[in-house]
Amino acid sequence: MSALAVINARLLDPASDYDGPGAVLIEDGRIVEVVHGAATERPSGVEIVDANGLCLAPGLIDIRVKTGEPGAEPRETLKSASLSAAAGGVTTIVIQPDTDPAIDDPAMIEFIQRRGAALDLVNVRAAGAATKGREGQRMAEIGLMDEAGALYFTDGVHVIANSRTLQRVMSYAASFNALIACRPADPWLSEGGVATSGEMASRLGLSGVPAIAERIQLERDLALVEQTGVRFLVDQISTEGALETLARARKRGLEVAASVSINHLCFNEIDIGDYRTFFRLDPPLRSESDRQALIEALRDGLIDIVTSAHAPAPAEDKRRPFSEATPGAVGLETLLPALLSLHHEDGLDLLEVLRPVTQGPASVLGLDSGALAAGAPADLVLFDPHAPVVIDAATLKSKSKNSPFDGRRLQGKVMGTWVAGRKVF
């Protein structure tokens, strides 16, 4: 592979807290040198990319991506998801195990990773199911999936209600330092709910999910984490009360990380409006006070990871009465400009905005990417943080077009994406 130099860039590297001018030299798919400061020299014998002052950052890492492959390819394939990721500056995606069949054995982990590698676009990794068939009853082959390359284990939106089953999963995972992720939602309080309980849900006549359901389940999960000593990820935290529970667990020294969906950082329950099903999400959109608390938790480092929560759904699954519409939204292509709205509108600096999609997930998952450093993979995104964009769902590369950002005016445009030094967008 020929050498490549990206020069005259504004380097943004959350791992080293560097925000300033510089250049990056790449050979054989890895970064071999990072130059801080204005550099006018053009190295000879290498391909030159002049960034013209645009921002160069580590490629984004999205740990929560749903596809329809295998089992529901019309919804999304690994190829369409990878093309969407490349267009959004996302260089690593972690596929969720809620496929058909579920990713609950090592053969499925290997299938996903083989298919992803054959596409030669972005890095495609997989999360394994914590229980067989994601049914919450019998523990899946966690040890063998870990050996096959699974990055963590989760039943996704399915809550493992049986505490004994979850205790066994956690105890076994702790024995080889595997990461377990759980979505905190009391299954009985959440049953049948499609919106957050409160004035808005009542006014629209929608069945409500009380915010306390998240905190109650998280309290149980963290009690089991304390007992078993497992590494734990709170999947898609969304309420202020749960953040307080998380903060207390951190103070007690528990090894607990947390992720949040970009949708819950950018929207609140009012956005449902007149039953707009593109805003039918799981967890449901919360109050404005919850949204502001999530932003502050991101600023303070209490939240480690931001995900796109990419969940494609075809039009026929969304054009239904609100309570019958499939929850979820596509988000791979809109993740970066949506994140940058937290910089432009909420005052987070660019390193704070990028950390939970680069260094944060890399650290939690034990990846060697997510940094601009010698020896790191040359997974990079070049973007203009001020370029205006109007999101048009019809032009998204995803096979499904269910974007809550459709028609929204944002700032931030991806100008180039490299994976292992190869330009993929």
pLDDT tens digits, one per residue of 155-174: 999 999 999 999 999 999 99
Task: Choose the final residue of a domain: 342, 365, 388.
Answer: 365
Range of the domain at 246: 59-365
Quote the pLDDT of residue 44: 79
Are the C-beta atoms of residues 286 and 196 closer than 8 Å to each other? yes
* Rounded-to-integer distance, Cα 288 and Cα 425, Å: 36
* 360 and 383, same domain (yes or no): no
Residue 1 has pLDDT above 60, yes or no: no
**Tell me: the pLDDT tens digits for 366-407?**
999 999 999 999 999 999 999 999 999 999 999 999 999 999
In-domain check, residue 371 = no
- How confident is the model over 224-234, as a mean pLDDT? 98
* 204 and 173, same domain (yes or no): yes
Total structural domains in the chain? 2
* 113 and 223, same domain (yes or no): yes
Quote the pLDDT of residue 42: 77
* 344 and 416, same domain (yes or no): no
Residue 417 has pLDDT above 70, yes or no: yes
Q: Bridge-partner residues for 35, per DSSP? A: 23
* 317 and 386, same domain (yes or no): no
- How confident is the model over 176-188, as a mean pLDDT? 97
Phi, psi (deg, nearest 5) at residue 228: -95, -20
Q: What percent of the chain stands above pLDDT 90?
A: 98
List Cβ neighbours of 83 (8 Å cut-off, separation of 6 or more): 121, 397
Helix (H) or strand (E) holding 400: none
- What the block records as the tokens of 349 is 């600096």
**Tell me: the pLDDT tens digits for 314-333?**
999 999 999 999 999 999 99
* 45 and 170, same domain (yes or no): no
- What the block records as the tokens of 31 is 């970064």
In-domain check, residue 372 = no
In-domain check, residue 95 = yes
Are the C-beta atoms of residues 261 and 298 closer than 8 Å to each other? no
- pLDDT class for 231, splitting at 50, 70, 90? very high
* Rounded-to-integer distance, Cα 11 and Cα 175, Å: 40
Helix 288-300 to helix 240-251 angle (10° resolution) is: 30
* 349 and 391, same domain (yes or no): no
- How confident is the model over 275-302, as a mean pLDDT? 97
* 351 and 386, same domain (yes or no): no
User: Position of tokens 């054959």?
Assistant: 118
Residue 122 has pLDDT above 70, yes or no: yes
Burial of 241 (0-12, 13-18, 19+ CB in 10 A): middle
Quote the pLDDT of residue 2: 76
* 132 and 33, same domain (yes or no): no
* Rounded-to-integer distance, Cα 148 and Cα 162, Å: 27
Are the C-beta atoms of residues 25 and 55 closer than 8 Å to each other? no
In-domain check, residue 178 = yes
Helix (H) or strand (E) holding 263: helix 262-266
Quote the pLDDT of residue 40: 64
Quote the pLDDT of residue 85: 98
**Tell me: the pLDDT tens digits for 103-121?**
999 999 999 999 999 999 9
